[in-house]
Chains A and B, each alone.
Chain A
């Protein structure tokens, strides 16, 4: 099933399962987080991304399965030590609104046992790096979403965690804020060897991860580097632009459901189809009425849609 990433794995999740009553939120999930890499969890809402992260942070006990990491710790056994070495930024903003930014950072920092001088130094470093130094004496309640998100990131990085969990960190944040955010994450991963697990549904963010896992209905349906995941579809994506006289919606309804096609959808006047493996020629013929179809670069969205179509038949492991 899962390829063991070998000695470089920083965290290993094995058969991780969580049930809530009769509902299985996460089912026997297996994966490795490689050290110093950014690992992305991609999947629709309710697919089990957050539940998985909550188990890995020690917030939620798994119904079964295990997670080991940090060179020999077990989340269930060494919970306190485990928690002291990870950082977590939740999807919901969770700093104290009635404290100032500085007070929030000082408070969370002291929970991690940082000395006063070290804490002051870290607060100075991080607030400069994330550009919120002038906000330190401000009440957190008055901050914008983007500002809060950068402060929350700083709070989760104060104790220099070796492992960082980001649960949909950039929802509602402007592009510039997102840039600042990701630059720091990649820098920390590359230079300090920090391992990162991030959940997102932004395709551009997913695109930049070193490795991705697609999650659907509590299971990992595919895992690999973004490039490799897309390779599986290379040559099977065809596009054609509907000519002036044609109604693109009508054309879409004509081809949709054809046995040669896995999927078909519109981008403006462009009709884009995913051919079934080995049916590329047949798919091309279907589109010829509209013009000459050209092969297109697969996107992660194509990959996800294509994989989701096959669910729950087989859990596929994309070759690396």
Chain B
């Protein structure tokens, strides 16, 4: 115990002497929370729109103003020809072009279809899909208004009322989806690399050997790395939670204690991965490269950004061996839905299982390589 204390103290002393790493520990969670929280936004608003209005009627102006009122479209210019509209979209001055037929105003009330068409820059699929569904909605709404009038429908409500309730994230904020998962990504980013390079550095410099001739046991030497880095992980976890609460106004609906408990299991898993890398890498450079190898699947296959249900079946299976997947499930459950460990036992069990496997492998390999 006394030796473990000395080893931990030594690790923090070294950290104190390494201001860059020290800053990274704080800087990475803050930066990533800000960048991911603000930058990733699936709600595409204020799409730039050019209008080619051949009709110049009350009805055509009404259509444009209804579209602008949704806040999804902003008129950036009027053009006088199809060619000009095409050039504006080609040059990315606008991502949407609205063409309104010459007879739009007249046809609107005659029952003959009033023509308008919308061109969308679909090179960005998210934007295009959203623009298309909103435009279609506006078209339907206007048609229904006309029909209701013609049919003499005198009630205020529509005949069918299907209401959608967005539970857990009533404002449909992307940040609510992104930031809880981000906790897993931040811990992965920093801890795998710090642990791996801290151990490799000791081996490179010969200090690991010097530690091993002391009476300190291998378990103590391993714990001497795990304990300080776990503390660092907990600091980062706390920082991200605070940023999430006060900057993005996302409250933890479930139990904070449960969140930390599962957080500790996940921290153990990433530290284990870091240790595993340290036994495979001969230099700090190699350790960095190998860490990156783990980072990408953690980000892309864990369901952090892309929904797992949307992946091809093969990748859905691959995602099952990624511990971050389970931790993200738990994070979203506890933070957004207020779920308890009872509801989340399945991902918690899988996460624990992989943690035990990883730590077991790491310790076995670590023991082999240090002797």
User: Interface residues, chain A, CB within 8 Å of chain B?
Assistant: 57-61, 80-81, 83-84, 86, 88, 90, 92-99, 103, 107-108, 110-113, 139
Contact = CB atoms under 8 A, between A and B. Distances in A.
Nearest to B207: A94
13 contacts: A61-B371, A83-B215, A90-B209, A90-B210, A94-B205, A96-B10, A96-B14, A98-B17, A103-B13, A107-B6, A107-B10, A107-B13, A113-B3
A113 B2 contact: yes
A99 B215 contact: no
Interface residues of B, number: 24
Contact of A57 (B211, B213, B216): B213
B227 to A, nearest CB: 15
Contact of A88 (B7, B14, B205, B213): B213
A92 B13 contact: no
A59 B213 contact: yes
Contacts, number: 68
Interface string B210-227: 111111110000000000
Nearest to B5: A110
B17 A86 contact: no
A81 B10 CA distance: 23
Nearest to B215: A84
B371 A60 contact: yes
Interface of B: 2-3, 5-7, 9-10, 13-14, 17-18, 205-207, 209-217, 371
Nearest to B370: A59
B11 to A, nearest CB: 10
A90 B206 CA distance: 9
A94 B206 contact: yes
A86 B213 contact: yes
**How would you classify the secondary structure of chain B's contact residues: helix, strand, loop or mixed?**
helix
Contacts of A90: 206, 209-210
A244 B220 CA distance: 70
A112 B13 contact: no
A98 B18 contact: yes
A93 B217 CA distance: 22
A80 B17 contact: no
Contact of A112 (B9, B215, B371): B215
B214 A112 contact: yes
A59 B13 contact: no
B14 A99 contact: yes
Q: 3 smallest A-B Cβ distances: which pairs?
A: A94-B206, A84-B215, A110-B6
Nearest to B15: A98
From B3, B18, B210, B216, residue with most partner A Cβ within 10 Å: B210
Contact of A94 (B3, B209, B217): B209
Nearest to A87: B213
B215 A80 contact: yes
A81 B217 CA distance: 11
Contact of B214 (A95, A96, A97, A111): A111
A112 B6 CA distance: 10
A95 B206 CA distance: 8
Given A80-B217, A88-B210, 8 more contacts: A60-B371, A83-B213, A99-B17, A107-B6, A110-B5, A112-B214, A113-B215, A139-B17
A51 to B, nearest CB: 13
Nearest to B7: A111
A59 B209 contact: yes
Contacts of A108: 210, 214
A97 B206 CA distance: 11
Nearest to A91: B206
Given A60-B371, A113-B215, A94 B10 contact: no
A121 to B, nearest CB: 18
Nearest to B206: A94
Given A90-B206, A94-B206, A103-B13, A59 B2 contact: no
From A57, A84, A108, residue with most partner B Cβ within 10 Å: A108
Contacts of A59: 209, 212-213, 371
A110 B3 contact: yes
Nearest to B217: A80
Contact of A110 (B2, B210, B213): B2
B20 to A, nearest CB: 12
B6 A111 contact: yes
